[in-house]
Structure 1
Amino acid sequence: MSAAGPMIEVQNLNVTFGQGRTELHAVRDVSFDIARGESFGLVGESGSGKSTVLRAISRLSGNWTGTVRIDGAELGRRRDRTTARQMQMVFQDPYGSLHPRHTINDILMEPLEIHRMDRRGARVLQALDEVGLGIEMRFRYPYQISGGQRQRIAIARALILEPEILLLDEPTSALDVSVQAEILNLLKTLQRERGLTYLMVSHNLAVVAHMCERVAVMNRGQFIEELTTAQLRSGTPTQDYTRQLLSASGQYSRDTAKSFVTFE
């Protein structure tokens, strides 16, 4: 595929759950592009649809319509090995996403075995080193290491297949504040060294402003505004909902937020 085009293209993405009276239209006509090597953020309150967008793109959710292209190639309805290697996801809860009865070695070996990659032992050691962990971690279990170390393992597992894209679903929200900056700086370093493309979901505007060049604000399943992080930092959004997010210091009103978007 041409390196000149967007790395991720999403057109008219819709996601629904349930049927009839119980149907929930979780994502509504969402479209965006992300350039190769760019970081793009999705922000909004809980239930706004931002994580649902990630799950649709990664095809962990099948209830979507629209068009998703990765490096110019349109995604099918089901996951395949090529795209799985090309695009990996880092989840919010580093303990819940790691098998508690598998050693770190098992966790990192599994994707290598699935994709029949060679030099597995060397790749495991390299992955640990790249996320700042020593060889002594290799045969420990997730419960034997800290939350920050578990998230480093989750990042190592995502990177071990040498993807071009990371989908980051609140990658630091489950961590202590003192550890969050370390993980964010690690992600920035890895992106710079590997030329990775990031799509990051977060409710924390400071995190997104630190990590991303552009930000889309979601409310009730829709994109209501797209900002550069310079606009975000300067506090100059055009939508009331975004201004509410910026000033959300215990005074954020969910009822007010609902009034900012109306549907036909």
Structure 2
Amino acid sequence: MSAIEINDLNVWFGEGPDRNDAVKHVSFSVPEGESFGLVGESGSGKSTVLRAITGLVPTWQGGIHVQGRPLGRKRDKTFYKNVQMVFQDPYASLHPRMTVDQVLSEALQLHGFKEIDSRIETLLRDVGLGPGFRFRYPHQLSGGQRQRVAIARALAPEPKILLLDEPTSALDVSVQAEILNLLTDLRAERHLTYVMVSHDLGVVGHMCGQVAVMQHGEIVEELGVADMRQLKAEHDYTQHLLDSSLRSIR
């Protein structure tokens, strides 16, 4: 069974002459336990697809199925227990006046978990942070540490699917590699399914088995990572992205 199946998805903003069609006739399927990449330059519509899945965009039509269940306009608590999102900017995604302990406690309590203390310790350990980080505020953390906390928060409800919206683009290059390796390990350990958005084919080449390339709101090509590494792209735009990322993916 597919963890996520998207059929003829259209997303728009505004109405009438002000309407902007951000996503047009997008379809793809992600098997359980796999990692799927959406790649394209800024404004290509890739992040909008993730927001449609999570219910953050109200104006869409088409089919969205998660674990075989069709989604309507609203998302219930069960959805957010199974599907979580990690955002691009770790500086903006954490409340500046909440400690790491408060951030994780809130997420765990929201989903009805008990034994909060032990679960927080486990989450911090799983993302490579020790107990010394538990009572720190976001301004006391580096960018990479903040993103580790954001990942721990996403893992708190024990989801099956993570939507990753440029999770390393705001980080230094050396820290990017650490976070990507962490996400790779977590997927294997927890049997997670990923949909990752990136503008960098090198990043998704490291993380994903299958990649869809988006341009102007449409998928122009879908290919496997093996074909990417052998430069077997058919569309000119995909070839352009490959040329830009050549050093990263080989």
Normalising by structure 2, we get a TM-score of 0.96
1:120-139 equivalence runs, <5 A: 120-139=116-135
Q: Which amino acid aligns with 2:232?
A: T
SS at match of 1:100: coil
CA RMSD of superposed structures (Å) = 0.9
1:161-198 alpha-carbon deviations (Å, 9 max, x no partner): 10000000000000000101100000000000010000
Question: For residue 72 of structure 1, what is the aligned residue in structure 2?
Answer: 68
1:146-165 alpha-carbon deviations (Å, 9 max, x no partner): 00000000000000110000
In 2: Cα distance, 1:241 partner to 1:116 partner? 46
Partner of residue 20 from structure 1, selected from 10, 16, 32:
16
Tell me how far 1:222 sits from its aligned partner. 0.4
Question: For residue 142 of structure 1, what is the aligned residue in structure 2?
Answer: 138
In 1: Cα distance, 2:72 partner to 2:18 partner? 27
SS at match of 1:95: helix
In 1: Cα distance, 2:198 partner to 2:103 partner? 26
Tell me how far 1:248 sits from its aligned partner. 2.9
In 1: Cα distance, 2:71 partner to 2:21 partner? 22
Question: For residue 155 of structure 2, what is the aligned residue in structure 1?
Answer: 159
1:53-202 equivalence runs, <5 A: 53-202=49-198
Task: Indicate the structure with greater helix content.
Answer: 2
Question: For residue 48 of structure 2, what is the aligned residue in structure 1?
Answer: 52
In 2: Cα distance, 1:115 partner to 1:224 partner? 39
In structure 2, runs of 5+ residues without a counterpart are 246-250
Q: Which moved more, 1:71-80 or 1:7-16?
A: 71-80
Question: For residue 248 of structure 2, what is the aligned residue in structure 1?
Answer: none
1:234-249 equivalence runs, <5 A: 234-248=230-244
In 2: Cα distance, 1:135 partner to 1:54 partner? 32
Q: Which amino acid aligns with 1:35?
A: P
In 2: Cα distance, 1:82 partner to 1:186 partner? 26
In 1: Cα distance, 2:244 partner to 2:5 partner? 31
In 2: Cα distance, 1:248 partner to 1:182 partner? 22
SS at match of 2:93: coil
In structure 1, runs of 5+ residues without a counterpart are 250-264
Q: What is the count of residue pairs matched by the alignment?
A: 245
1:209 and 2:205 correspond: yes
Provide runs of 4+ in structure 1 moved above 6 Å.
none
State the percentage of identical aligned residues: 59
Tell me how far 1:20 sits from its aligned partner. 1.3
